[in-house]
Amino acid sequence: MKKAFFLLILVYAGLALSVISCKSDNSAFIIGLNQNIHHDDFEYSVTAFSKTPEIIGERDTIYAMGIYYIVHFKTENKALRVDHNWSNSIAYIIDEKGNIFDNIEENQYVINKSKPFGLKESYITRHGESDTTLLVFDIPADVREPYLMIRGGTLMGDIFDSGRFRKMKIKLF
């Protein structure tokens, strides 16, 4: 009986500490290249990025309204048994003002035709494996602080860190 009571006190103490240690504001956790955003058993990173005013395809040149950010995106599946299904809309860029910019899939196809990188409409990353792709964003030229962020629903592994992946930002400057 004493052991059960002691265990119950430890559980409540642990819950209280986790609530106290959670940030109540909307602070983001800023990370850099080759650092991971952890979402349940899945990890996402930016391995490189480049900026260009144009994308040169096989036949056409596509000009950005601002500047293109071409992001080398990596997904790692650390799960023991579960595959990870994701698409090219998993990530987005947010600027210092809170504006959101989505991946432009049509421009991914243009790049993939001239320099194939294994573009797919959707991905299934098997457990223990990783996948990469290039994401393309058209960002206004006056944006000073673009960050890549991840979309996703809350999974079991996110409960313990209060869905921290939603606050993580990968610095692209």
The neighbouring-strand residues paired with 82 are none
Beta bridge partners of 67: 139
Arithmetic mean of pLDDT over the chain: 86
Residue 25 is predicted with a pLDDT of 45
pTM recorded for the entire structure: 0.80
Decide: residue 74, CB within 10 A, 0-12 exposed, 13-18 middle, 19+ buried: middle
Query: In sequence order, what E strands does the chain have?
Result: 29-31, 37-39, 42-56, 61-77, 84-87, 91-94, 100-102, 122-125, 130-139, 147-150, 168-171
What average pLDDT does range 162-167 have in this prediction? 80
What share of the chain in percent tops pLDDT 70? 79
| Segment 92-106, tens digit of pLDDT | 999 999 999 999 999
Predicted local distance difference test score (pLDDT) of residue 153: 75
- List, in order of start, the domains of the chain with CATH numbers: 25-171 (2.60.40.1240)
At residue 39, the pLDDT reads 86
pLDDT at residue 152, as a whole number:
81
Q: Is 9 left (phi over 0), alpha (psi -120 to 50) or beta?
A: alpha
User: What is the tens place of the pLDDT at every residue in 114-133?
Assistant: 999 999 999 999 999 999 99
**pLDDT at site 165:** 82
Q: Are strands 168-171 and 29-31 parallel, antiparallel or unpaired?
A: parallel
Distance in angstroms (rounded) separating the CA atoms of residues 173 and 171: 6
% helix / strand / coil in the chain, to the nearest 5?
20, 40, 40
Confidence of residue 80 (pLDDT cuts 50, 70, 90): very high
Nearest to 84 by CA among 32, 35, 149, 150: 150
